[in-house]
Amino acid sequence: MIVIPAIDLRGGRCVRLLQGDFDQETVFGDDPAAMARRWENAGARWLHVVDLDGARAGSPRQADTIAAIVAAVDIPVQVGGGIRTAEDAAQLLKVGVERIVLGTAAVEHPQLLDVLIERYGSERIVLGVDARNGRVATRGWLTTSDVLAGELITTLAKRGVTRVVYTDIERDGTLTAPNFEALEVVARTGVRVIASGGVTRHADLMRLSEIPGVEAAIVGRALYTGDLLLGSAEWEIGAPASADVR
């Protein structure tokens, strides 16, 4: 089970939202590149960066900050938030982003997903599914559709998706626990799953590791508050030492 620190960007700062609510923001740092180095030095093998401003606006807003983060570390970085065109993806990949997380665009314009997977491969294009009560939310979590998360993932897997970042909005930033039942449903679709939302303690990671197909967990608030320590949290259970999430 790989722990991936989250760096959520808003106005050039590192923040965490409660359940995706832009009015419930906690600032954890004014230097995202320094924060990235902090997590790398603590042993992180990946970083998960979200452009919150971009997610809300519908196009990337933190490109320079993301480029600075990528330049500051030697570990791979995956980025989501506001990526709605092939040009958006190309610009981020050009500055060294390893993986693109496509959410709203994948739901509303799946043909873009086809283009990007064909161009860059399924290892570099990841589906981002944010769910509220099991239904897919888009546009910075401001809009909730009638589409069931499991059905969407199954449909898009047929178009070449092999990995999904699944975020349970109601658990995100709450320091409670992941929605294990929902993750089990997602994992049964056959794609590799990166779980996000609610991871707080080692017991959460242990239980996630027991769900076949869940390969990693994105952790935000629990790392920033010290509820979970990265150095002692990043381990692999039931997997060979050479296992990776690439």
Q: What is the pLDDT of residue 22?
A: 60
CA separation for the pair 109, 89 (Å, rounded): 14
**Residues annotated as catalytic (active site), given as ranges:** 8, 130
The model's pLDDT over 37-67, given as tens digits with 9 standing for 90+, comes to 999 999 999 999 999 999 888 899 999 999 9
pLDDT band at residue 134 using 50, 70 and 90 as cut-offs: confident
What is the CATH architecture assignment of 2-233? Alpha-Beta Barrel (3.20)
- Give the domain ranges of the chain: 2-233
Q: Model pTM?
A: 0.88
Q: Quick one: which H or E segment has residue 192?
A: strand 192-196
